Amino acid sequence: AQKITQTQPGMFVQEKEAVTLDCTYDTSDPSYGLFWYKQPSSGEMIFLIYQGSYDQQNATEGRYSLNFQKARKSANLVISASQLGDSAMYFCAMREGRGFQKLVFGTGTRLLVSP
Amino acid sequence: DVKVTQSSRYLVKRTGEKVFLECVQDMDHENMFWYRQDPGLGLRLIYFSYDVKMKEKGDIPEGYSVSREKKERFSLILESASTNQTSMYLCASSLTVLEKQAFFGQGTRLTVV
């Protein structure tokens, strides 16, 4: 069963606008962590933001924020004031607290920011 | 500066060859991971290791094996390469702390002809 689901293969946004990238997850473990990574065309994987299952507040890192809705099992990434350099693939990932903490990823969303 | 290094950026091998992909990290991380990345399929976990000589299958282990003889090195082995193993391979490492992110190597683009 797919643990991480990203339903948007591609998203378009104009520069300076905000955009939300969707991520839903599936786990029965009460302890887990959710991550977002950015992969530009160069191929490197860049860590953006982390949300823990017990965190009371939504995570924020600069222009990135994570809209964490635990009951709905969603962890959407919000990018405010998009920039041309935000054009990239974005991956949602999860680690579960029990056992060996393997890290699993979704299929990704390609974001294109236009001028 | 943290570093995960994969031995090759590009590799071309023939069908049936035994292929070794090497990954080294200098951060004393317990966990190491091998993924393959294919368009539309995201990153799929092949194998991971949580300690020296310990390994666990990921979601797509068929056709692959791994070796972790030292903490800093995690090798992915294709026993008999096939064309459907043409892909981008990414290695990552992390601490065994839930909130710590994984660090990735630069990737190896393997083509099997």
Quick check: A1 pLDDT over 90?
no
**Residue B50 near residue B36, CB atoms below 8 Å:** no
Over residues A25-53, the mean pLDDT reads 94
Residue scoring higher pLDDT (B26 or B97) = B26
Q: Do A101 and B43 touch (CB under 8 A)?
A: no
Q: Per residue in B7-18, pLDDT tens? A: 999 999 999 999
**CB contact, 8 Å: A90 with chain B?**
no
**CB contact, 8 Å: B27 with chain A?**
no
Q: With a CB-CB cutoff of 8 Å, which residues 50-89 of chain A face chain B?
A: 50, 52
Using an 8 Å CB-CB cutoff, list chain B residues near A32.
98
Q: Per residue in A65-108, pLDDT tens? A: 999 999 999 999 999 999 999 999 999 999 986 666 788 999 99
Q: Do B40 and A9 touch (CB under 8 A)?
A: yes
Q: Per residue in B20-43, pLDDT tens? A: 999 999 999 999 999 999 999 999
Over residues A105-113, the mean pLDDT reads 97
pLDDT of residue A96: 83
Return the minimum-mean-pLDDT range out of A11-15, A39-43, A93-97, B27-31: A93-97
- What is the chain A residue with the closest CA to B108? A43
* Three-state SS at A21: strand
pLDDT of residue A2: 65
pLDDT of residue B111: 98
pLDDT of residue A6: 97
Quick check: B97 pLDDT over 90?
no
In Å, how far is A1's CA from the nearest CA of chain B?
10
Closest partner residue to B98 (CB to CB) among A43, A91, A97 is A97
Measured distance CA(B108)–CA(B113) in Å, rounded: 16
At A5, the pLDDT band (50, 70, 90 cuts) reads: very high
pLDDT of residue B100: 82
The two beta strands, B4-6 and B19-25, are antiparallel
Calculate what percentage of chain B has a pLDDT beyond 90.
91
pLDDT of residue A98: 65
pLDDT of residue B72: 97
Q: Per residue in A47-70, pLDDT tens? A: 999 999 999 999 999 999 999 999
Burial class (CB in 10 A: 0-12, 13-18, 19+), A41: exposed
In a 13 Å sphere around the CA of A10, the CA atoms on its Cβ side amount to 5
What are the CA-CA distances from residue B46 to residues B2, B60, B77, B99 (Å)? 23, 5, 11, 22
Q: Do B88 and A9 touch (CB under 8 A)?
A: no
Closest partner residue to B106 (CB to CB) among A31, A44, A100 is A44
* Three-state SS at A41: coil
